[in-house]
Amino acid sequence: MKSRSKSDKAGEDSARRTPGNLLRIKQGMEFKLFLIAASISLAGVLVSSFLVLTWQRQQLIDDARETTSHLGNVIEAGLEHAMLRNDRDLINQIIKDQAETHFLSRIQVLDDLGVVQASSDPADIGQTLQDTSPSCQFCQNINLQSQQSSTGFLAQNGGQQVFLNVNLIYNRPECQGCHSPQENLLGLLVVEKPITDLNSELLTAFWRIVT
């Protein structure tokens, strides 16, 4: 079989470089460049969305912390008179009213052993919280010498994310009509706030960014 001449090969190369072929090659390159540019743009949007949502989430958490901390202080002040009178019915009524007014999941007063002494849910009263519960874990890690009055944090409760605010109830002189002066910490006031609204706001913000 005879080898092809240089002129035959040149003819084939020229055929491949017809205007139609060149146009298809150009369109293919343009499409690839478009895909690369679109991928870079999409990555930029996703990264920006992540950063914005992270910042917004932290802002919402800070707002929830401030709100529940204020509520915890207000509720504790409202309970003080009833506690000094050791009026358990009044204590539970105040707690129930506050939970309904502020749309809270639960309010509890625990003693220093983790036993629920008062609650917006009467079924909780008398129960002892497990060591694995968020409130107990918080209590086990606090520094009593800091005299920190309250703190708020995200937690899981029954598979749902909630915001907990925990007020430490210290033994003040006016409390020692019923409690020994040797007791430093009498218990905890736990305010549980659902964060359904927080997650809903984040989802709305995400779709607002990507669209």
The whole-number pLDDT of residue 208 equals: 67
Pairing of strands 185-194, 150-157: unpaired
Looking at per-residue pLDDT, the higher value among 3 and 206 belongs to: 206
* Residue whose tokens read 């540019």: 37
State what percent of residues in the chain have pLDDT above 90: 16
Q: How confident is the model over 144-187, as pLDDT tens digits?
A: 445 555 566 666 666 667 788 888 888 889 888 888 888 888 88
The whole-number pLDDT of residue 107 equals: 93
Determine the average pLDDT of the residues in 73-100.
91
The whole-number pLDDT of residue 1 equals: 47
Q: How confident is the model over 105-127, as pLDDT tens digits?
A: 889 999 988 899 999 999 999 99
The whole-number pLDDT of residue 179 equals: 86
116-119 sheet: strands from edge to edge: 116-119, 106-111, 185-194, 160-170, 150-157
* Residue whose tokens read 């964060």: 195
H or E segment at 3? none
Q: Residue 134 to residues 138, 139, 144: CA-CA distances in angstroms? A: 6, 9, 18
Listing DSSP states for 53-73 in one string gives HHHHHHHHHHHHHHHHHHHHH
pLDDT at 197 over 50: yes
The whole-number pLDDT of residue 155 equals: 63
Residue at 25: amino acid letter: I
Mean of all residue pLDDT scores within the chain: 76
Q: Residue 110 to residues 34, 158, 185, 190, 206: CA-CA distances in angstroms? A: 62, 19, 11, 8, 39
Q: How confident is the model over 16-65, as pLDDT tens digits?
A: 556 666 667 767 777 788 888 888 877 777 777 777 777 777 777 777 77
As given in the structure block, the two tokens for residue 114 are 């983790």
Three-class SS of residue 115? strand
Question: Could you give the CA distance from residue 169 to residue 119 in angstroms, rounded to a whole number?
Answer: 15
State what percent of residues in the chain have pLDDT above 70: 67
pLDDT at 15 over 70: no
* Residue whose tokens read 């205007």: 19
The whole-number pLDDT of residue 2 equals: 47
The whole-number pLDDT of residue 141 equals: 54
Q: Quick one: pLDDT band at residue 5, thresholds 50, 70, 90? A: low
